[in-house]
Every structure is written in structure tokens, then in C-alpha cells.
Structure 1
């Protein structure tokens, strides 16, 4: 999913995760009633949509992300682009392997 891509059905995402509205929306700082309005078709602001994507689609725990982490990534990209690409490739391979093993376990 691309940055700020339109999320057309937050209710579907919530249901796939098995969360009630309170659990789902509170993780991104939205009240249950506000989330209900978004699920009913009200236009979702870009910041809310992006938080929903990061937390519920990408499964990123925002409580663990620090500004320093982004600065380190940018520094690594600028000063050691080959190492950055190598690390990125290794992380993607690890994620694909985990997805494959979790799909095999679910079968």
C-alpha cells in the first residue's frame, strides 16, 4: 500500500484483525464514535488514514519508533548506500520467510 493511499474500507481491515471499534480506533487516537463515522463512509483525513495504514496494515508499533531511528536510517542511506540496500534486502527476505511460515501454519 502506498503512502496516503486511499483506504476504502476500514471496517474490513478491523474485522480481519478481529478487533472491536474501541480497540481498533483507540490504537491510532480516534474515538470509537469517530471511527464509526469513518466506517460508515465519512471522509478520513490523510493523517488518520496514514496512522491506520502504519498501525493496522503495516503492523508497526508506534510506541517503539523514535526520531533517532529515522535519522539513523537517513544517515545509513547517505553514507553507506550499499549496506543500506543489503540490509533492506535481508529484512524483506526475513519478512517473506515469516509470512510463508505463518501461512503454512494456518493451513
Structure 2
């Protein structure tokens, strides 16, 4: 399994990493990592063509469970993907900022 701790993810995020939030829209609206693209877990298989193949994808959910499954799927499909351990809860718990409400990148 390819996973990354919140601190390593935060460093990548600061460098402009692609972040895929696989939670449901109501969860995303409640608070998400700035710049995260919403694609609920059930939509990912049908929208692989919408994801970048030329950069690493950091997959995040609420706690890390859903993101691990999506990361497995993406890696099998040839993507360079990593699940964020602890998810958005870990991000918030580490004192990092979140954005509430809709976001321009929301799908």
C-alpha cells in the first residue's frame, strides 16, 4: 500500500500537489484541504480520464479508509497515487487550514 503521513503530504501540498478528495459532497462542503478536487469514491472508476497521469495524486478522505481503496484502484490503472494517512481529520488535527463550502474544482 502506498501511503503518506500528513506532514509529508503537507509539504507536497505546499508545492502544489494534486489532491483528490474522495468523500461525499456534503463532507467536502463541511471542510476540505485547500485546492482539493472533489470526486466521490463511487465516481472515480468512470472518471479516470479526468485525472492527471503526469503527476503524483494524493488521495484523501475523512480518515484514510476510502482513500486507500481508491489509491489501490489508481495504482492498478497506472497512476502514481498515495493515500493520506489520517485523511482530512488528520489534516485538521495537525492544525492545517481547511476551506468550507463549494470550491471551483468541485466535480
TM bucket by the smaller chain? under 0.3
Q: Which has the higher helix share?
A: 1
Q: Which has the higher strand share?
A: 2
Using CA pairs under 8 Å that are at least 6 residues apart, name the structure with larger relative contact order, 1 or 2.
Answer: 2
Q: Rg: which structure is higher?
A: 1
